[in-house]
Structure 1
Amino acid sequence: MKIGIVCPYSWDVPGGVQFHIRDLAEHLIGLGHEVSVLAPADDDTPLPPYVVSAGRAVPVPYNGSVARLNFGFLSAARVRRWLHDGTFDVIHIHEPASPSLGLLSCWAAHGPIVATFHTSNPRSRAMIAAYPILQPALEKISARIAVSEYARRTLVEHLGGDAVVIPNGVDVDFFARAEPNPEWAGTTLGFIGRIDEPRKGLPVLMAAFPKIAEACPDVRLLVAGRGDEEEAVATLPPELRAKVTFLGMVSDEDKARLLRSVDVYVAPNTGGESFGIILVEALSAGATVLASDLDAFAQVLDQGAAGELFANEDPDALAAAAIGLLRDPDRRTALAVHGSAHVRRFDWSTVGADILAVYETVTMGAAAVATDERVPLRTRLGLTRDPGA
């Protein structure tokens, strides 16, 4: 099958959507499919052979973060050329409602279109206001996927229609077989995320850290991600700053080793999360996970059976939970064992098969149109129309 995948966000600024698209493309290529990914990227950025640049992206504040998007006449021309040259059996557009390549591709594409919605934003005035503009493009979509129930709810409430829920995928074995780094061992907490993005929650963790350090004097905090490191520890007493080690941006291999090494992985995110791919990666590595009780995080952590939850944006609750876990190795082991079993449902062997089933269904429907044969598509795919009608 020839598959075209559209990434809305800049390929050279890593994020959960980009990682999901990268891993999906490589999984499909490994199965023998022909895959091309169109993504915003600086023209001098080294790209995998399956990625085509649509030009440089610009930063736009969105959903409590900064999304690097690509939109304009040059981008539209590159989209049309990519679609023309690709002659794809199916186009898979991620975030078609964002003002980037997804929307441009939806406007320009013909044939079977699958769309994945990642955003969880229950009060998006911008999405509501933009609906009249988005509607003609969204009506071309053959099947809709949401990465979580919360992303599906955002879609239903703002844009109408429905979607099948297929979560983000992870190569579970990649994380499970990583070797711990002895230098990161000990009484260790871990955090991975953009340091200067408030919704990732590092300030909440920093506010909790003095109480954790008082109860567990040997504790260390490892922080991986880009941002202002001095500003991140500015609220800590000077004597505690040495207990925080900043690793900067880390490779996938070092991320896996970090998650295999820490006693507790902390996800103090404060909102705007529709899934929580880092939680799945941590569970895959066998880490004990402590996360804020966002709805999406609670779902990934099996409502607290696969990881500990604490009250969102409450440093005292975070501190109490972290201290309890650091002092109770049996509890950590029990959570890790449950998490390692629970996380298998997110492996690409399962997620990839579900996505391929959607592709096959919409391409069968398109073939039925050509032969005037009616093939009913499953309503659980969230179709806006029946391609066989």
Structure 2
Amino acid sequence: MRIGIVCPYSWDVPGGVQFHIRDLAEHLTGLGHEVSVLAPSDDETPLPPYVVSAGRAVPVPYNGSVARLNFGFLSAARVRRWVHDGRFDVLHIHEPATPSLALLACWAAQGPIVATFHTSNPRSRAMIAAYPILQPALEKISARVAVSEYARRTLVEHLGGDAVVIPNGVDVDFFAHAEPKAEWQGGTIGFIGRIDEPRKGLPVLMEAFPRILEALPQTRLLVAGRGDEEEAVEALPAAMRERVEFLGMISDEDKARLLRSVDLYVAPNTGGESFGIILVEAMSAGAPVLASDLDAFAQVLDGGEAGELFVTEDAAGLADSAVRLLGDAARREELRAYGSRHVRRFDWSTVGADVLAVYETVTDGAAAVAPDERIGLRARFGLAARG
């Protein structure tokens, strides 16, 4: 199958959507499909062979973060050329409601379109206001996928229609088989995320950290991600700052090793999350997880069975839970065991099969399916009616 995938966000600034698209493309390629990904990127960015650059992106505030998007007449021409030359059996567009390559691809496409919605934002006035502009493009979509129930709810409430929920995928074995790193072991808490993006919650963890150190003075906090390191610790007493180690941007291999090494992974995010891929990666690596009780996080953690939850933005609650877990090896082992079983539902072997089932249903190959079975598949995947 010839598959075109459109990434709305700049390839050179890593994020959850880009990682999802990268891993999906590599999984599909490994199965023998021909995959091309169109994404914004700077000229000097090294790209995998399956990625086609649509040119440089510009930063735009979006959903509590800053998204780097590519939009305009030149971009539209590049999208049309890529769609025309690709002759794709199916076009898979991510975040088609953003002013980006994704929306341009919706306008340019003629064949079957699958759209994945990642955003969870129940109060998006911008999305409501933009609906009249988006509607003609969205009506061309053959099937809709949401990465979580909360992303699905955002879609339903703001744009209408429905979607099948297929979560983000993870190569579970990649994380499970990573080698721990000795210097990252022994009373360590891990955090991975953009340091200077408040919704990732590092300030909440920093506020909790003195209380953790008061109970467990030998604890270390390992922080991986880009941002202003000095600003991140400025609220900490000077004597405690040496207990925080900044690792900067790390490779996928080192991320897996970090998650395999820490005694506790903390996700103190404050909002704007539709899924929580880092929680799945942490569970895959066997790291006990402590996360804020965002709806999306609670769903990924099976209501608190696969990882513990604390009240969002409650630094004292975070600290108390972290101290208790760091002092209770048996409880951490329980979380490891449950998480390792639970996380298998997010492995690409399962997620990829579900995505391919959607592709196959919207392409001409679906004509070979018996009519009653085809109707059932369309109901399952929230597909548009076809003649």
* TM-score interval, smaller chain: over 0.9
Q: What residue in structure 2 maps to residue 196 of structure 1?
A: 196
Q: How does 1:237-248 map to 2 (within 5 A)?
A: 237-248=237-248
Are positions 1:317 and 2:317 aligned together?
A: yes
Q: How does 1:161-200 map to 2 (within 5 A)?
A: 161-200=161-200
3-state SS in 1 of match to 2:286: coil
Could you say what secondary structure the match of 2:239 adopts? helix
Residue in structure 2 matched with residue 291 of structure 1 by the alignment: 291
| Distance in 1 between residues matched to 2:45 and 2:365, nearest whole Å | 38
Equivalent pair of 2:43/2:56 in contact (CA under 8 Å): yes
- Counterpart contact for 2:147–2:275, Cα < 8 Å: yes
Specify the alignment match of 2:269 in structure 1: 269
Distance 1:126 1:321 in 2: 37
Residue 385 of structure 2 corresponds to 386
What does residue 260 of structure 2 align with?
260
Q: C-alpha distance in 1, partners of 2:190/2:157? A: 36
Q: TM-score, normalised by structure 2?
A: 0.98
Assess, with a 3 A threshold, how the Cα gap between structure 1 residues 26 and 36 changes in structure 2: closer, same or farther: same
Alignment match, 1:334? 334
Matches of 2:374 and 2:324 in 1, distance apart?
56
Aligned length: 384
SS of residue matched to 1:68? strand
Shift of residue 378, structure 1, vs aligned partner: 1.6
- What letter is aligned with 1:279? L
SS of the residue aligned with 2:110?
Answer: coil
SS in 2 for 1:242: helix
Q: Deviations over 1:160-211 (max 9, x none)?
A: 0000000000000000000000001110000000000000000000000000
How far did 1:375 drift? Answer: 5.3
Identity of aligned residues (%): 82
**How far apart are the structure 2 equivalents of 1:345 and 1:335?**
16
C-alpha separation in 1, matches of 2:329 and 2:310: 18
Residue 101 of structure 1 aligns to which amino acid in structure 2?
L
Q: Per-residue deviation at 1:223?
A: 0.1
Q: Is the 8 A contact 1:221 1:243 kept in 2?
A: yes
Code of the aligned partner of 1:175 = F
* Aligned 8 A contact 2:360 2:366 in 1: no
Using the alignment, how far apart are the partners of 1:352 and 1:294 within structure 2? 26
Which amino acid letter does the alignment assign opposite residue 248 of structure 1?
G
Deviations 1:345-378 (A, max 9, x none): 000000000000000000037768xxxxx95452
The aligned amino acid for 1:75 is S
* Deviating 4+ runs (over 6 angstroms): none
- Shift, 1:44, TM fit: 2.1
- CA–CA distance in 1 between the matches of 2:22 and 2:239? 41
Separation in structure 2 between the aligned mates of residue 310 and residue 136 of structure 1, nearest angstrom: 42
2:352 matches 1:357: no
- SS of the aligned residue for 1:320 comes to helix
Separation (CA, whole Å) in 2 of partners of 1:329 and 1:61: 42
Give the structure 2 partner of residue 226 of structure 1. 226
Supply the distance in 1 between the matched residues of 2:235 and 2:337 (Cα, whole angstroms). Answer: 35
Q: Distance in 1 between matches of 2:272 and 2:87?
A: 36
How far does residue 73 in structure 1 lie from its aligned partner after superposition?
0.7
1:57 corresponding residue in structure 2: 57
Report the alpha carbon displacement of residue 34 of structure 1 after superposing the two structures with TM. Answer: 0.1
Kept after mapping to 1: 8 A contact 2:366/2:374: no
Name the TM-score, length of structure 1 as normaliser: 0.97
Measure, in 2, the Cα distance between the counterparts of 1:302 and 1:329.
Answer: 21
**Residue 122 of structure 1 corresponds to which residue in structure 2?**
122
Q: Which residue of 2 aligns with 1:46?
A: 46
The answer as to whether partners of 1:112 and 1:366 remain within 8 angstroms in 2 is no
Look up the match of 1:78: 78
- SS state at 1:91 partner: strand
1:151 aligns with 151
Which residue is equivalent to 1:111?
111
Q: Letter of the aligned partner of 2:4 in structure 1?
A: G
Q: Give CA-to-partner distance per residue, 1:236-276, whole Å, 9 cap, x none.
A: 00000000000000000000000000000000000000000
Offset at residue 380 of structure 1 (A): 2.2
Q: 2:87: which partner in 1?
A: 87
Aligned residues of 1:298 and 1:309 also touching (Cα < 8 A):
yes
User: Is contact 1:70–1:100 with CA below 8 Å preserved after alignment?
Assistant: yes
Determine if contact 1:205/1:318 at 8 Å carries over to the other structure.
Answer: yes
Q: SS in structure 1 opposite 2:363? A: helix
Query: For 2:54 and 2:269, how far apart are their aligned partners in 1?
Result: 31
Structure 2: which amino acid aligns with 1:320? D
Rounded to whole Å, the distance in 2 between the matches of 1:147 and 1:16 is 11
Contact 1:111 1:366 in 2 (8 A): no
**Mapped contact 1:364–1:375 kept (Cα < 8 A):** no
> Structure 2 regions of 5+ residues with no counterpart?
none
The answer to whether 1:303 aligns with 2:307 is no
Q: 1:330/1:366 Cα in 2 relative to 1: closer, same or farther (>3 Å)?
A: closer
Distance 1:5 1:367 in 2: 23
Distance between the aligned counterparts of 2:89 and 2:365, measured in 1?
A: 12
Offset, 1:379: 1.4
Structure 1 residue 100 corresponds to structure 2 residue 100: yes
CA–CA separation in structure 2 for the residues paired with 1:333 and 1:362? 44
- Provide Cα deviations, 1:292-317, integer angstroms capped at 9, x if missing partner: 00000000001010001000000000
State the one-letter code of the partner of 2:25.
Answer: A
Q: Aligned partners of 1:364 and 1:163: how far apart in 2? A: 21
For 2:24, the equivalent position in structure 1 comes to 24
